[in-house]
Structure 1
Amino acid sequence: MLITQDVVPPGRRAQLALVLGSLSAFGALTIDMYLPAMPGMAGELHTSPLQVQLTLTVFVVGLALGQVIVGPLSDAWGRRRPLLAGLILYVAGSLWCALAPGVGWLLAGRVLQSLGAAAGTVLARAVVRDLYEGTAMTRFFSTLMVVNGVAPIVAPVIGGQLLTFTTWRAVFGVLAAIGAVLLIAVVFTLPESLPGDRRAPAHPGATLRTFRTLGTDRHYLRYVLAAALMFAAVFAYISGSSFVLQEAYGLSAQQFSIVFAVNGLGIILCGQLNRMLVGRVADEHTLLRISLAVAVLGSAGVLACALFDLPLALLLICLFLLVSMLGIVLADATSLALAGHASAAGAASSLQGLLQFLVGSLAAAAMNLSGHVTATAMGATMVVCSTAALAVLHLRGPR
């Protein structure tokens, strides 16, 4: 069965948004749910906090590289088969993590988990590009921000509550169950979206030519890099906030999960604001520029709070400003980047994912150079990344 843009009935759009939004939130869900457990995992596994943070970095790198494999394959084979294979791998990797006897085994499980999650992340964007164009595509990406925003709201809360009566291993058991539910949902509700006559040749030469075309497209690269750098600023928060807020500011795992949830709500609200404004009040480029400017303001506030020991409430407000803007930046930048690449949506989506998560990993690694995350290091990383994102957007090139 094949689903195309012309045959997406209104009643199916909500179902499609729920499934694709859940798939695109796979990476965030898998990261956010175990964040409250990270400080305690080091003791149980008899390792250092830096090794525990490495499980996050390994996951993000695997998520990035996995997308580069899955995206081009989906351009040749269709979206459905690689997606199903990825979900099976994700369930297996989650169970491996839940049973890991040491940090080395946990790292191996995170690699499997990340490669499986990559399929959901990259193919959700590709399916949207298969079905929509122009402002309709931007609005649908903004709709996906509802589910993407729910992930950081629900995931840390679930993780934090699980820790009140069980260990971090249960978190990975829950992730395995979520992967299994999504696998069933895709089997029964998500038909193929890429017709056979639009598929690319399945050989390495064609894939390399596609990536070369994407790598020389300044319009595409400008928006992809702006999104990647903004994601890196938020990833500095994701990677470092559990240690900064719990150890430096004394928040409990449950209080931290509430802070994380509030920031996730900001992503939802800004995503829906973007859906209402785009094409009516302003175009995607204008909204992208404004949201990045607000992100720079928020990150500068975080750094100022760290340097001058300002109140925690002000720090949390600045974090909210920064993180919320992700709901606008990812929707608009993704739509603008993929607009000109309908015939290679899988490859274009995978390169975006690669740059996004690799830049995020580099930002997290730079923040951890001293071996211990501080509020100053987190704020400085946010300022550098968000400012660079705004600067990239203003580079000369075709609109």
Structure 2
Amino acid sequence: MKPAVKPEPGFTEFVALMASVTCFVAMAIDLMLPALSLIGDDLNVARANDTQLIITTIFLGVAFGQALYGPLSDVIGRKPAIYFGFGVFLIGTLVCLIAGSLEMLLLGRLLQGLGAAGPRIVTIAIIRDKHEGRAMARVLSLVMTVFILVPVIAPIIGQGILMLSGWRMIFIFLLLMALLVLLWFGIRLPETLPAEKRNGFSWERLGSSFKEVLKHRTAMAYVLALGLVFGSFLGFLSSIQQVLQELYQLGAAFPFYFAILAMGVGASNFMNSSLVMRFGMKPLVMGAQLGTAGLSLLALVACFWLGAVPPLWFVMIYFLLLLLGVGLLFGNLNALAMEPFGHIAGMASSCVGVISTLLAVILGMLLGQAYNETPIPLIVGFLILPGLSYLITRWAVARAPACETAKES
């Protein structure tokens, strides 16, 4: 008698599992937000803006890690690549746990990013293995909904941990969470890339796949557009703790205000899962890019009357509306960039992730370091970067053949 075959996860469980595996970048960031000032004081950080590196360094690790995991998953399979990534993430978390200086903490954060890149990039390849086109965009949007909802609860959890213990306990929480999700993933999800479909490793094939992605001008335009939007969002993540917790003196209430803003991104991602099936990706992307830039222009003009430090209610309404627009961009731009590369999904997801994340890290660092105890740098960043993203997307849409446009949109 043959042993009973375990049923594959249903659609809801698949989305929840992919979101949970992907969430470690967001969780490792947002749990730390309430603790940045405490870490700076405990580790004797000289400049307040330097604590932003605790946020941006993990993305630097993610950017470089993505170059490894996509090709690796094409060769050894999706699940072994994710197992390796979780292992590196756990090592990085242990380094953070015992860090006695900012430099050692940043090393641990870099390792966390290198490890978290595996789950982050390979889950996109897993989704591409099972879905394409609008269906893929729908799944990515739902995954991003859960992924972006992490900031709703993570800072509150982080603040709760700080009320009971020190900031190092946050890393113990991350360790336990990673082990639980890894167990769920290992038990429930079958391998989505069978051995007969895997590519044997060769530098020639690796270079050929990389060149194929880079030479696809339309796809690369979407990658750059994604990097610009992601850069503005990373600048927001880097400095929002200083804006709300310190500039507006919210103190321990900061996680709750941040949760309100995070719900804006989550809500727009959830709505996108339905809207994309009705209207298509490109109209939604271009409308959100224009809306985000236009809203920021209005906010900048309003600051001439309200002052460089406008009232808290104004800042909250602006950021909430802004993030509603931003939430429509991540899943759709990712899907547009990945659409031509189903035959090399792992390599393509790596290339898309590396380029967009490196661009975002550079822009996010510049935007965050421009913080001058006013929200003006963030407003200017959300005017310029999504505006440029719109121009690039418009070029890509105009360049695509009619048949390709109908399929992708």
**TM-score normalised by length of structure 1:** 0.92
Q: What secondary structure is seen at the aligned counterpart in 2 of 1:394?
A: helix
Check whether the contact 1:91–1:113 (CA below 8 A) recurs between aligned residues: yes
Which residue number corresponds to residue 222 of structure 1? 221
Amino acid at match of 2:31: M
Alignment of 1:344-363 (within 5 A): 344-363=344-363
Amino acid at match of 2:227: A
Which residue number corresponds to residue 194 of structure 1? 193
Alignment of 1:1-399 (within 5 A): 12-48=10-46, 49-252=48-251, 254-280=252-278, 282-304=279-301, 308-309=306-307, 310-369=310-369, 374-395=374-395, 396-398=398-400, 399=405
Check whether the contact 1:270–1:325 (CA below 8 A) recurs between aligned residues: yes
Show CA shifts across 1:111-170 (max 9, x none).
Answer: 211111000110111100000012211111121122112211111111122222322111
Give the drift of 1:306.
Answer: 5.3
**More deviation in 313-322 or 373-382?**
373-382
Give the drift of 1:239.
Answer: 0.5
Q: What secondary structure is seen at the aligned counterpart in 1 of 2:154?
A: helix
Give the drift of 1:388.
Answer: 1.2
Alpha-carbon separation, structure 2, partners of 1:362 and 1:306: 27
Show CA shifts across 1:150-194 (max 9, x none).
Answer: 211111111122222322111111111111111111111122111
**More deviation in 52-61 or 31-40?**
52-61
Alpha-carbon separation, structure 2, partners of 1:43 and 1:164: 17
**More deviation in 234-243 or 164-173?**
164-173
Give the drift of 1:319.
Answer: 0.8
Aligned residues: 390
Distance 1:92 1:123, change over 3 A: same
Alpha-carbon separation, structure 1, partners of 2:374 and 2:358: 22
Alpha-carbon separation, structure 2, partners of 1:377 and 1:259: 20
Give the drift of 1:371.
Answer: 7.7
Which residue number corresponds to residue 3 of structure 1? none
Check whether the contact 2:145–2:269 (CA below 8 A) recurs between aligned residues: yes
Give the drift of 1:8.
Answer: 8.5
Q: What secondary structure is seen at the aligned counterpart in 2 of 1:341?
A: helix
Alpha-carbon separation, structure 2, partners of 1:190 and 1:38: 36
Instruction: Work out which of the two has the higher radius of gyration on C-alpha atoms and give 1 or 2.
Output: 2
**More deviation in 294-303 or 353-362?**
294-303
Q: What secondary structure is seen at the aligned counterpart in 1 of 2:340?
A: coil
Q: What secondary structure is seen at the aligned counterpart in 1 of 2:164?
A: coil
Check whether the contact 2:52–2:368 (CA below 8 A) recurs between aligned residues: no
Q: CA-atom RMSD, angstroms? A: 2.0
Structure 2 portions without partners, runs of 5+: 1-5
**TM-score normalised by length of structure 2:** 0.90
Q: Percent identity?
A: 28
Give the drift of 1:23.
Answer: 2.0
Alpha-carbon separation, structure 2, partners of 1:198 and 1:221: 26
Give the drift of 1:68.
Answer: 1.0
Give the drift of 1:369.
Answer: 4.6
Give the drift of 1:51.
Answer: 3.4
Alpha-carbon separation, structure 2, partners of 1:113 and 1:121: 12
Which residue number corresponds to residue 3 of structure 2? none
Show CA shifts across 1:20-54 (max 9, x none).
Answer: 11222221221111011112211100122343222
Show CA shifts across 1:303-331 (max 9, x none).
Answer: 44655423221211111122223332112
Alpha-carbon separation, structure 1, partners of 2:301 and 2:178: 40
Alpha-carbon separation, structure 1, partners of 2:255 and 2:123: 27
Amino acid at match of 2:256: I
Show CA shifts across 1:207-265 (max 9, x none).
Answer: 1211111111122112222222111111111001111122222121x322112211221
